[in-house]
Amino acid sequence: MQRRAVSAGLFLFTITTLAIVLIRCGGSSECVGAIPVPKLNSVQPTTISSQAPSTTISLSGSGFVLTSRVFLNSWAVAATVLDSHHITATVTQQLLLVAGTSNGVEIWVTNPGQLGGGFFGCADGGSSKAVSITIT
């Protein structure tokens, strides 16, 4: 930070910041900070009782990151990313009411992208294919 006196008792501050420059990896298929598109392979259990106060679901796949989010019929589900292949999610009875179950229930994982990530040719998140869950 630089200070220059303007007049008695007043100072003008010039703040210099370090600019972060993103560079596409030259020909490499891996980019620093790349966010993968998640792949959801399986969900257990595949049947949930609408009468249960809550049900913990285990999601298995790949490409899960700390910022991965789980959705049930477009409604966010409380979830914990265990590692890049496993997430646990809690589906509550209240969530089933608001998400609606008359037309079936689908669950999927989304990895939010980052500002400008895709612009530089790096993977920039996305959503997995949905997996159907039966509600009884």
Instruction: Please tell me the pTM assigned to this model.
Output: 0.69
Domain spanning 35-135, CATH architecture:
Sandwich (2.60)
Kindly give the confidence (pLDDT) of every residue in the chain, 136 residues in length, as a single tens digit, with 9 standing for 90 and above: 444 444 444 444 444 443 343 434 434 455 556 788 899 999 999 988 888 899 999 999 999 999 999 999 888 999 999 999 999 999 998 888 877 766 678 999 999 876 555 555 566 788 889 999 988 8
- Residue pair 91/57 in contact (Cβ under 8 Å)? The answer is yes
| pLDDT, tens digit (0-9, with 9 covering 90-100), for 10-41 | 444 444 443 343 434 434 455 556 788 899 99
DSSP notation for 2-31: EEEEEETTEEEEE---PPP-----SS-S--
- What is the radius of gyration, based on Cα positions, of the chain? 22
β partners of residue 70: 77, 109
Structure tokens at 4: 């220059």
